[in-house]
Structure 1
Amino acid sequence: MLKLAKKEEWTSYFRVLKYCVPYKKRLIYAVVCMILSAVASIIPPWLIKNVVDDVLIRKQTQLLNILCVSVVFLYILKAAFAYANLYLMTWVGQKVVIDIRLELYDRTQRLSLATLYSRRSGEFLSRITNDVATLQNILASAVIDFVVQGVTFVGIIGFLIFLNWRLTLVTSLIIPVAALAIDRASSKLRSVGAVIQDRLAMVAAIAQEAVSSIKIVRSFATEEEEYKRFKEESDLHFKAVMKGTQVRGVLEGIVEVILISALAIILWSGGRSVIAGRLTAGGLIAFCTYIGLLVQPVRTLSRVVSSIQQGAASADRIFEILDEKNEVPVAENPQILSPMEGRVSFENVRFGYNDSKMVLNGLSFDIKRGEKVAIVGPTGAGKSTIADLIMRFYDPQGGAVKVDGVDIRAVEIKSYRRQIGVVPQDPVLMKGTLAYNIGYGCKNVTKEALVRAAEMAGIYDFIKTLPRGFDTEVGERGVTLSGGQRQRVAIARAVVRDPKILIMDEATSSLDTLVEQQVQEAMNNAMEGRTAIVIAHRLSTIRDADRIFVLREGAIAEMGTHDELIAAGGQYYKMYAAGNGRHTPEEA
């Protein structure tokens, strides 16, 4: 009857249904209950035929009692089966939704940074929450309606043929018209559903950006502009929702008018048959009752088409993320470096965030175990890119990054990263306690380990002054702490796992001079005995580095100690002189 969608448009829906396989037992029970509920709902009109023909006309009182009790009993059964199928399908639907949401969340966590940075974080949030929630509708209510109303439709057609095949033939000439209207509207509903979810994602993205950047918004007094952006996207979402409502409303209205027209034709034709003696009065009443009941399954099935189309649009958005190719693939038989020594080497590494422009051009260097190396250079020279490649957030387009002589593309990534400590320029803290943040990523971390890390980072004295100590909540992103305190917590978080490699990515660039000196002391303590890579903005903080790499245009322009580079009078000397307010010989 219904041409719901083209074959390829069902792919996402059938893919969603595969998530039901682990719960197939409950799903089978639910389908059985749906069928029994549908059967119980289509028998009463047949009993009404007997009431008219055998009770009202032939005056059989005993049969009247039986028929009345039977109707009540049937509806009790219908209610029981309907409750069972609703409970079971909701249970299965929720389980499947949780499975998909967990898989989507896990996949999002593992996507490459290039993919994550290419979209707004609010878009990912919308797909994890809104799009997955939309699937609940097609997995529970849509499936229930499809099975129950589908069985009801087939059962009613069977009774109609049994009652009078001529009238059923007249009816069958009208139903395809309704099916055609549903088919024409279904493709429109799918596209409208995709627009609705995209608009909702934009609303979530703008809200998330504004809330996470509230200080910037207030600092620049742009509350009205942000409100305007949010309102504009909300209005676009409203228009998309109303467009979908219009399509659904027109579809259901057309179907209902077509079916009522069919009922009018049947009354005219059937009435003539009763007058001619070809049909009993009870048979006509039962036939018309079944036609009236036929309106509900057809209307519901048209609504199911709408739900499936919109749900498929959400499924498409979900599977777009799940099918996203990971640009940092996992090795088939990964090698585990445990314990790691900490030797780092770049061998003719070429890397660019896009193929049109390389950030690193044939970069090569070796860092010995326990060596402290500083990397300096102008903005865009590739300093932070080196740190990202060591962490294997990206893979180079050419050459190799090796640790302990092993290409890190062949290394088990989790065990590898757990042996590296990172202190970023912006020390993002998680909502939770100081203990949670310092021990983040370390399973079964002890109180003694937390204290040692906090002492090494120079934050323990401050923690002792707090009423709840390590159990003090830091607030979202650590808003209750100062910049220096957040940075020292980040240092403690990096060293609590006793990493073999420690990366300091411009860890003091956002701090004032006094706080920078305090944090620098904590950094020196943390780097002791470890392979340390310091990406520096202020050159005064790296004077005691074993070696300094000066980057320019993705390659090492100079290399040496602080004193050697100053004596050479090259690019490093110019950078150091500019940072200390001195003139270079060329400028003097």
Structure 2
Amino acid sequence: MSPMRRSGEALPSSHAAGGQAPAPAGDRSDWATLRRLFPYLWQYKWRVLAALAFMVGAKVANVGVPVLLKNLVDTMTPKPGAPDLTQALLIVPIGLLLAYGLLRFSTSLFSELRELIFAKATEGTARQIALEVFRHLHSLSLRFHLERQTGGMTRDIERGTRGVHSLISMSLYSIVPTIIELVLVLTILGVKFDAFFVWITVAALVLYIVFTVTVTEWRTKFRKTMNELDSVAQSRAVDSLLNYETVKYFNNEDFEAGRYDASLDRYRKAAIKSQRTLSMLNTGQQALIAISLVLMLWRATSGVVDGRMTLGDLVMVNAFMIQLYIPLNFLGVIYREIKQSLTDLDKMFVLMEKEREVRDAPGAQPLAGVDATVRFEDVSFAYEPARPILKHVSFEIPAGKTVAVVGPSGSGKSTLARLLYRFYDVQQGRITIGGEDIREVTQSSVRKAIGIVPQDTVLFNDTVEYNIAYGRPGATREEVEAAARAARIHDFIVATPKGYETTVGERGLKLSGGEKQRVAIARTLLKNPPIVIFDEATSALDSANERAIQSELKNAAQGKTTLVIAHRLSTVVDAHEILVLESGVIVERGTHAQLLAKQGRYAQMWALQKSEAAPLM
């Protein structure tokens, strides 16, 4: 598993208006991360306790094996001057061998029962945390998702989920059992033999742990560097693949490969440096283990020679040391994995703690939905304080009427739709639906009441039917087809080999711009909300299809409160009111005929577009 950065280093700040960002993950201790994890795990407390009981049973059986082995060796060792008890000597070892086999089997049985019992807790905890992160990411503002890097963030979630498994398995299956076994072994050594064995073991363990922790902490900076470079390489690869067509347009395959290779090369150098320090750590650990084993066996051998210990005691001490040092031999790996899992988990917790820029007010109730009148009242808004987008904008869309907003690019037209959808909250003024401030009702109810056909339609990499039915999950095939007919795309769909089962590809790239737009229109028609937003809804269509769909859009808007954002003025001539927006300010308003009569900005735009549409001589 490649290492991760300290939490808080990968994601850009959200600049949340009014939201305070959480403390960087690097400021949170490992114990704080464990405390954050504990409530999820404690939901399965009976499984945790049962797993601990089986773990203790497994270690008691494991420690009993060397003790039984000692008795077996001592029983089989001939004693000078003892009477010939061949029959007894034959029966006793058979019983000890059977007991030995039973203990060995019990060790494995208890270990498997522990894993079986605890599997549900581990998988359930990982599932719940991953689901909470997923839900929280969907609750974050559009600003966060515009600034995030998809590749790095998905890697963070993947590592965090895997970190839950690693942390639980390493701690419950390695650290805690080793501690239990260590206490049992030290107790037996201290009771049966002199304290020298205990002090050698304790001193070796202390030196081993201090050395391991010190060197591993020193290596952390190399691991963090590897993590940063790994995430950079991943983000660049994903971003390049998502923008496949752009890469092809500019013939930049070699350029993208070069950037990716440069990231991989930096990661390779960091990985080599990390491996060097790992080799140094492993060598030091093996030296400490070898020295302590030699001292223990020297002491035990001396005891046998002096008559203070039997051959069985020597075998038991050797077996204890082997059993004890095998898990200790992996302590460096275990400690490193636990530290890494804590870092990975902390990274995911940081995502969960990202402040929501747009959140429901305490006690917010759903939108009443009786009146679909929309009002913008003295609305001002800026994505960044130094660059205001909307300035004191006020207008009303009466229930069942259509208001169109036109103007040059960058004038703030699409921002109106984003504010109405509560992707952002206004900084001055208010927006109401049916007289209710949308900041005082639930976001879910506001978005349920609004349907939108966006300018840039993005589809799921699934079937055409799935993408249309996304407007109302659970809709029947007949309803999906009716929406497709209304959007004038049904004939195209059924003409394809797989019909409605045709997959549209990543982001809908298998469809043309016009086809994607018509799928988006069908999706919104299927949702059938009281308020509809058409944000350049026909911008990707040719003139013939635009005129064909215009009548369908007009029918879809019948009886609905409709906001039309358009660049082509021919699409808004039937609107009940047209607003001309420039630099965030409404400079003209009226019907199509009234605005032409004024001979103002709208009339100039109309004349310009008419001349552009005229056939060339």
Q: Same fold (TM over 0.5)?
A: yes
For 1:21, the equivalent position in structure 2 comes to 42
Is the aligned partner of 1:184 residue 2:214? Answer: yes
Q: 2:61 aligns with which of 40, 50, 53?
A: 40
Q: Is the 8 A contact 1:487 1:519 kept in 2?
A: no
Secondary structure of residue in 2 paired with 1:375: strand
From the superposition, tell whether residues 435 and 351 of structure 1 become closer, same or farther in structure 2 (CA, over 3 Å): same
Partner of 2:322: 292
1:541 aligned partner: 571
8 Å Cα contact 2:471/2:524 also seen in 1: no
**Distance (Å, rounded) in 1 between the aligned partners of 2:348 and 2:267:** 19
* Aligned position for 1:435: 465
Q: CA deviation at 1:403?
A: 0.9
Q: Letter of the aligned partner of 1:256 in structure 2? A: Q
Task: Give the counterpart letter for 1:574 in structure 2.
Answer: Q
Q: Say which is worse superposed, 298-307 or 402-411, in terms of deviation.
A: 298-307
3-state SS of paired residue (1:556) = strand
Give the equivalent residue in structure 2 for 1:488. Answer: 518
Q: Give 1:165-176 correspondences, 5 Å limit.
A: 165-176=195-206
Matched, 1:164 2:164: no
Amino acid at match of 1:21: W
The verdict on how the C-alpha distance between 1:34 and 1:253 changes in structure 2, with shifts beyond 3 A counting, is: farther
Matched residue, 1:586: none
Deviation of the 1:391 alpha carbon: 0.5
Matches within 5 A, 1:148-163: 148-162=177-191, 163=193
1:136 maps to what in 2?
A: 165
The correspondence for 2:289, drawn from 259, 264, 287, is 259
CA RMSD of the aligned region, Å? 2.7
Report the residue type matching 2:149 in the other structure. Answer: R
In structure 1, what is the equivalent of residue 86 of structure 2? Answer: none
Contact between 2:170 and 2:338, CA under 8 Å: does it hold in 1?
A: no
1:153–1:298 CA contact under 8 A, matched in 2: no
What is the match of residue 356 of structure 1?
386
Is the partner of 2:533 in helix, strand or coil?
Answer: strand
Secondary structure of 2:348's aligned partner? helix
Distance in structure 2 (CA, Å) of the matches to 1:328 and 1:269: 70
User: Which of 115, 126, 129 is the matching residue for 1:100?
Assistant: 129
- Go from structure 1 to structure 2 and tell me whether the alpha carbon gap of 1:240 and 1:37 turns closer, same or farther (over 3 Å shift): farther
Q: Corresponding residue for 1:73?
A: 102
For the 8 Å contact 1:252–1:303, the answer to whether it is kept is: no
Describe the superposition over 1:340-398 as per-residue Cα deviations: whole angstroms up to 9, x where unpaired.
43211112222222233221222222221122111122222211111000011111122
Q: Kindly report which structure 2 residues correspond to 1:279-428, keeping only aligned pairs within 5 A, or say none.
A: 279-428=309-458
Kindly state the Cα deviation for residue 277 of structure 1 after the two structures are TM-superposed: 4.1
Matches of 2:540 and 2:600 in 1, distance apart? 27
Alpha-carbon separation, structure 1, partners of 2:273 and 2:370: 59
- Taking the aligned partners of 1:377 and 1:7, their CA distance within structure 2 comes to 49
State how far apart, in whole Å, the 2-side matches of 1:535 and 1:556 are: 14
Amino acid at match of 1:131: G
Matched length? 578
Structure 2 vs 1, CA of residues 54 and 446 (structure 1 numbering), >3 Å: closer, same or farther?
A: closer
Q: Deviations over 1:427-484 (max 9, x none)?
A: 2222333332222141432445334423332223434545665444444433443322
Contact map agreement 2:69 2:100 (CA 8 A) in 1: no
Within the alignment, does 1:571 sit opposite 2:601 as a pair?
yes
1:116 aligns with 2:116: no
Cα drift, residue 239 of structure 1? 4.5
* Matched-pair contact (CA < 8 Å) for 1:566–1:573: yes
Distance 2:160 2:263 in 1: 18
Match of 2:20 in 1: none
Q: Which runs of 5+ in 2 are unaligned?
A: 1-25, 83-88, 613-617
Q: Is 1:87 aligned to 2:116, yes or no? A: yes
Contact 1:350 1:363 (C-alpha < 8 Å) held by counterparts: yes
Q: How far apart, in 1, do the equivalents of 2:485 and 2:300 lie?
A: 93
CA displacement at 1:569 relative to structure 2 = 3.2
**CA shift at 1:65, angstroms?**
2.7
Change (3 A) 1:445 1:552: same
1:145 counterpart residue number: 174
Distance 1:100 1:201 in 2: 21
Residue type of the alignment partner of 1:38? K
**Secondary structure at 1:365 match in 2:** strand
Q: Which residue of 1 aligns with 2:254?
A: 224
